[in-house]
Structure 1
Amino acid sequence: MTAAMTFNEPTERVQLRSAVAALAAEYGSDYYRARAREGAYLTDLWRAAGGLGYLGVNIPEEYGGGGGGIGDLAAVLEELSAAGCPTLMMVVSPAICGTVLSRFGTDAQRRRWLPGLATGETIMAFAITEPDAGSNAHNITTTARRDGGGWVLDGRKTFISGVDVADAVLVVGRVQDESTGRLSAALFTVPTDTPGFEARPIEMDLVSPDHQFQLFLDDVRLPDDALVGDPDAGLLQLFAGLNPERIMAASLATGSARHALERAVAYAKDRKVWRDTPIGAHQGLAHPLAQVKIELEQARLMTQHAALRYDAGDDAGAGEAANMAKYAAAEACVHAVDQAVQTLGGNGLASEYGLGAAIAAARLARIAPVSREMVLNYVAQQSLGLPKSY
């Protein structure tokens, strides 16, 4: 006898979505844009969400979290984004860093970091990208070497989100095996006040409360327990964080697409140009908006599917699904924002409606945290078995 397939989310997650949506509605896109223009972070919303337990729904209960999965955390971010308050730090702090520490950290590391990540009182950034590595993690040159009872870290990172609000950064580096000379990936927790750690802001045309930084690691001395897990399992640990990253990025994009679509539909129902007929009655606008709705729902289903596979412990299947979800969600978000601007006409670029700033943010979804081209490479090689092109 086979079990019935269902596409309905658990009751607890539906209730979580409703509660998060109610909180986010108290802030909304006006709050988000105001904080972004001020160059400030969404601190009030972050603290409120953390205090209610929403930021730590995926953290184990014994460390102060909700004991749920990445699907629950993704639902939180989607609802915040749908209300006009997307934040990259949810992708980074509880999703990537929280997941890696939960799965691979020592008990001491979990006790130190996870309770704060669960409440939002501690924020952790994630540093993998380098100026000369980009999407090729094999070219990472940040290295860590043994020095007495600790480590010395040297290197450079770029486009690292939220270092200005972070207490620590989970840094991806390379460690040399003393017997073989082989370099392997390793992850280190680096408090941002560590001597030798320097963060410089990157000036961006994108107006966002999540700021980007270059990191300079010059003779950064760390204790032995800064190393997370086993350096021989560094790649496994890394991908354990990158699959949730893609799922969360997809949720941010689908939430942002929902926000843009809702703005466009409301305007199309109200705006009248010819007689007393709303512009939404005309197929030239109605059909493109309907197409956006279809693409959005397809992306949401793929994202929920990816989260389900990850939470079931299917890392291989989750990798394929997470990449597909991220691709679909990014495309849906770009299309949704573009069509929303087109629906509003000149008002689509007026600050009052907040869609102009969303153009650049939506475009970012195609680039980060993994480009659409690298997703297509992954699917071509891993899903279709085609030869590697690089």
Structure 2
Amino acid sequence: MTTIAPRIDAVFDLNALIGDDEREWQLRARRFAQERILPVIEGDFEAAHFRREFVRELGGLGLLGMHLTGYGCAGAGAVSYGLVCLELEAADSGWRTFVSVQGSLAMSAIHKYGSEAQKQRWLPGMAAGELVGCFALTEPHGGSDPAGMTTTARRDGDSWVIDGAKRWIGLASEADVAVVWAKVDETDAGGGAVRGFLVPTSTPGFIATPIDGKLSMRASVQCDIALDGVRVSDEALLPGASGLSGPFSCLNEARYGIVWGAMGAARSCLEAALSRATSREVFGKPIGANQLIQAKLADMFVEVEKGILLALHLGRLKERGALTPAQISVGKLNSVREALTIAHEARSILAGDGITNAWPVMRHAANLESVRTYEGTDEIHQLILGRELTGLSAF
């Protein structure tokens, strides 16, 4: 099915809209996705296996924190990063998620808000894939209201003691460092009720437990975190982040990657449907010769191309420093919603075989349910846009 992607590319000619360097980043990620991820992903999904050895390979390709500058990071543009997300998620959402957690969440938090010593300690190893980071914001009672977090950090002499719990934290059991967000007393933190801490996961009292029973993102790892008297020095505090604007800015970095990535999953589903439509014969001809099938394929293709064009527009805005959170919400809401619709339509074209792992469609559909939920549910992004349109908050 990988031969279909160039055909889809050619119909719209996306290459005319991107530069040579951006295309090279895309092809680098596509080669890794096709040569390394695709041969093993169905087995890994079935076995709920995270392939840790891929982390260093991704680092070696320059894909970890690639949109950041310095400290071993590639300093690539926003569109290059988006194209990489698209290609990785075309293989599996779990691997785009890893790149997002590592680069857009954990590394971005350190890069944006860390001290020079923190950056030097963590970022080069994370960029190389030698170290893994996680981003601990969501809590067990719900992820859509971070202002209501119950995890706390209190001063004790020249240290901080962190207590609480986090849930659905990607890669926490694999991580070397966790960016933990906690409420602190205003007088302790010099202003700002929510602060970030860089917590080595070997610290006593930090326990990350992988969540079992997942029917989505099975080739990735999401965890519960228990924080029981976790003591860190004052040097663990991210000095530049005060209040919820810190974690929200990192979330917007990850949401931007999803805008592109979900279209990769959608393209993969379209490829599967197109391959099946041209190879399966019923009533003496390929099913793709029927008008109903062609109409479905055309509608799927239009939504893929519209989604990629929207992602490209947002990427150009981001490169100019003009991208707003509301615009990111448009992209995240549209890309994931349309990708799920495309996955469901592709499954119908594949008929009964579409529910088997001979095709990637059901895996993508299952993964996209997670993508639809994290970094802001549909409803959260609808409310963000509603507030932008009316000037009235419904939160």
Measure, in 2, the Cα distance between the counterparts of 1:198 and 1:39. Answer: 20
SS of 2:315 mapped into structure 1: helix
Q: Are 1:279 and 2:287 counterparts?
A: yes
What residue is the counterpart of 2:374 in the other structure?
A: 368
1:200 Cα deviation after fit: 2.2
After TM superposition, list the pairs within 5 Å mapping 1:242-281 onto structure 2.
Answer: 242-275=251-284, 277-281=285-289
The more displaced of 42-51 and 263-272 is 42-51
2:31 is matched with 22
Q: CA deviation at 1:106?
A: 1.0
Displacement of 1:205 in angstroms is 2.4
- 1:340 pairs with 2:337: no
How much has 1:229 moved relative to structure 2? 2.3
Deviations 1:168-210 (A, max 9, x none): 1111111211289976111111111110111222222225121
Q: Where does residue 317 of structure 2 map in the other structure?
A: 309
Alpha-carbon offset, residue 334 of structure 1: 0.3
The equivalent of 1:80 in structure 2 is 88
CA deviations over 1:116-157 (Å, ceiling 9, x no partner): 121122111111111234201110111111122221111111
Whole-angstrom distance in 1 between the partners of 2:199 and 2:190 = 25
Alignment equivalent of 1:36, drawn from 38, 45, 48: 45
Displacement after TM superposition at 1:84 (Å): 4.2
- Give matches, 1:166-177, under 5 Å: 166-177=175-186
- In the TM superposition, residue 337 of structure 1 has moved relative to its aligned partner by 1.0
| RMSD of aligned alpha carbons | 2.1
Secondary structure (helix, strand or coil) at the match of 2:226 reads strand
Range with bigger deviation, 180-189 or 46-55: 180-189
Q: Which moved more, 1:177-186 or 1:68-77?
A: 177-186
Relative distance call for 1:207 and 1:159 in structure 2 (3 A) is: closer
What are structure 1's unaligned runs of at least 5 residues?
1-5
* Cα deviations by residue, 1:31-77 (Å, 9 ceiling, x for unpaired): 112223333213333322211212232231x3111112443222212
Structure 1: how far apart are the matches of 2:274 and 2:202?
A: 47
Q: Say whether the 8 Å CA contact 1:126–1:169 is kept in structure 2.
A: yes
Q: Structure 1 residues 55 and 207 mapped into 2: Cα distance closer, same or farther (>3 Å)? A: closer
Corresponding residue of 2:365: 359
Tell me what 2:392 maps to: 387
Q: Residues 70 and 180 of structure 1: is their aligned pair in 2 closer, same or farther, counting only changes over 3 Å?
A: closer
Q: In structure 2, do the counterparts of structure 1 residues 172 and 312 end up closer, same or farther at CA, with 3 Å as the change threshold?
A: farther
Output the amino acid matched with 1:380: G
In 2, the alpha carbon distance for the partners of 1:55 and 1:182 equals 32
List alignment gaps of at least 5 residues for structure 2. 1-14
Contact 1:96 1:126 in 2 (8 A): yes
Task: Note the C-alpha offset of 1:80.
Answer: 1.5
Structure 1 pair 177/98, CA: closer, same or farther in 2 (3 Å)?
A: same
Correspondent of 1:153 among 155, 162, 183: 162
**Runs of 4+ deviating beyond 4 Å:** 179-183
Quick check: 1:127–1:170 contact (8 Å CA) kept in 2?
yes
Aligned residues: 379
Q: Which residue of 2 aligns with 1:241?
A: 250
1:164 is the counterpart of 2:173? yes
Output the amino acid matched with 1:51. G
- The one-letter amino acid paired with 2:392 is P
Report the TM-score, using the length of structure 2 for normalisation: 0.90
SS at match of 1:210: coil
Name which structure has the greater RCO, CA cutoff 8 Å, separation 6+.
2
Alpha-carbon distance change, 374 to 21 in structure 1, aligned in 2, over 3 angstroms: same
